[in-house]
Amino acid sequence: MSQRKATSDAGRATIRDVAERAGVSVASVSRVLSGNYPVSEELRRRVMKVVRDLDYVTNAHARSLAGGGTPTVAILINNITGAAFAHVAKGVEGAATLRGWLSLVGTTGDDPERELALVNLMRQQGVAAVILLGGAYDYDEYQLRMARFARSLDAAGSHLVLVGRPPLEGDVPATTVDYDNEGGAYAMASHLLSAGHRRVLVLPGHAELTTAQGRLKGAQRAFEAYGVPFDPGMVRHGPYDYEHGYEAVEAALHDTPDFTAVLAGTDVVAAGAAQALRAAGLRVPEDVSIVGYDDIPLASQLTPQLTTVHVPYEEMGRVALRAVADRREGGAGHRKSADGDHLVLGTHVVVRNSVRPPITRV
């Protein structure tokens, strides 16, 4: 009676319960279930019947302790609400599922403390990789912090993947999946310039955010290429949200109202900018042109539909997961191969209806 545990006990059934009830050994049940060992048809039938009867599932914790187990990847993000996130996550999740992998999600809320806590938590979980999403704030400590993460994870047999931010400096065991951020901004700005715009309001984002830095730089390069002087006074930094777009345009209309186009750092910012222009009685794109960045669904749902830069978010997610899977299968094959550690995906301009050649305003 008090053998180990009554079979009819509450809680989940163990492999032992199944073995007992099927009248076979624990090992046999394990073999039937994992299927990597020859088993007689008779045995299989008997075991499977009991498994169904008991609605038994193996304990993932015990399994991974013993060596097996389904690999898991962790996705860490600042703000789960961002539209870009959802698409990267979809890519990761889809690719993970394809391989029978699992994915965890954690949000950091821009808090370094919490980020550290999460990376450690994931390390405890024994994840195959930690995927860090989104642009980074390039403060002093940042490089050191990430390098430490990378080495910690690497030492534990895991791996750090940076998605959507520049690669780390030095010899750090991390993979970066990036997109041609600066190139996209360059192309987008060129599009405005070739349409004839010269006075352009630029809303790249937070000055410390790597994403914003790249977008600003791309725009500047385009101006240089066109021989158009770039006026730093036309740049306004701020968060990637609707409100910032609105307020920045409001302020610009007051300070430097001679702009004929807005180069927004994000589609959402562009939406805010468009709203502010309309509130001021200006028409888009007749009076002022607007372009965005990201090409989230919102871009094609606004009126007018937004010309923007397409960023392959979902593809990045897939690529990130594939990088992890390859590395894991390749094993010691390509340790520290310089390539494969930094993957860059292309961007391109999607032309819609928010750009017109400039007209002279009063």
Partner DNA sequence: GTAACGATGGGATACGGTTTCCGCACCGGT
Partner DNA sequence: ACCGGTGCGGAAACCGTATCCCATCGTTAC
Residues in contact with its own copies by CB under 8 A are: 10-12, 55, 57-65, 69-70, 80-81, 83, 85-87, 89-90, 93-94, 97, 102-107, 114, 120-121, 123-126, 152, 155-157, 242, 268, 271-272, 274-275, 278, 297-298, 300-303
Q: Which does 38 bind (CB under 5 to 8 A by kind): DNA, its own copies, none?
A: DNA
Rounded-to-integer distance, Cα 68 and Cα 295, Å: 41
And the tokens for 240?
């990637």
Find tokens 């007689």 and name the residue: 40
**Among residues 32 and 268, whose Cβ is nearest to its own copies?**
268
Q: Which does 167 bind (CB under 5 to 8 A by kind): its own copies, DNA, none?
A: none
And the tokens for 250?
């409001």
Rounded-to-integer distance, Cα 235 and Cα 285, Å: 20
Contact, 219 vs 263, CB < 8 A? yes
Rounded-to-integer distance, Cα 235 and Cα 318, Å: 34
And the tokens for 341?
């550690």
And the tokens for 293?
């960045």
Least Å distance, CB 353 to its own copies, is 11
**Among residues 172 and 235, whose Cβ is nearest to its own copies?**
172
**Among residues 63 and 206, whose Cβ is nearest to its own copies?**
63
**Among residues 224 and 286, whose Cβ is nearest to its own copies?**
286
Rounded-to-integer distance, Cα 170 and Cα 286, Å: 49
Q: Which does 24 bind (CB under 5 to 8 A by kind): its own copies, DNA, none?
A: DNA
SS3 label, residue 104: strand
Of 94, 139, 88, 142, nearest to 115 (Cα)? 142
The alpha-carbon radius of gyration of the chain (Å, integer) is 27
**Among residues 81 and 360, whose Cβ is nearest to its own copies?**
81
Q: Which does 42 bind (CB under 5 to 8 A by kind): DNA, its own copies, none?
A: DNA
Helix (H) or strand (E) holding 301: helix 297-301
Least Å distance, CB 305 to its own copies, is 8
Least Å distance, CB 101 to DNA, is 16
**Among residues 60 and 225, whose Cβ is nearest to its own copies?**
60
Least Å distance, CB 90 to its own copies, is 5
Q: Which does 94 bind (CB under 5 to 8 A by kind): DNA, its own copies, none?
A: its own copies
Q: Which does 15 bind (CB under 5 to 8 A by kind): its own copies, DNA, none?
A: DNA
Q: Which does 337 bind (CB under 5 to 8 A by kind): its own copies, DNA, none?
A: none
Residues in contact with DNA by CB under 7 A are: 4-5, 11-16, 23-31, 33-34, 36-40, 42-43, 56, 58-59, 62-63, 65-68
Cis peptide before 285 (omega within 30 of 0): yes
**Among residues 166 and 312, whose Cβ is nearest to its own copies?**
312
**Among residues 14 and 107, whose Cβ is nearest to DNA?**
14
Least Å distance, CB 274 to its own copies, is 7
What are the residues whose beta carbons fall under 8 Å from the beta carbon of 344, sequence distance 6 or more? 178, 179, 180
Q: Which does 297 bind (CB under 5 to 8 A by kind): DNA, its own copies, none?
A: its own copies
- CB hemisphere CA count around 86 (13 angstroms): 6
Of 236, 239, 291, 235, nearest to 261 (Cα)? 291
Give the type of residue at 64: S
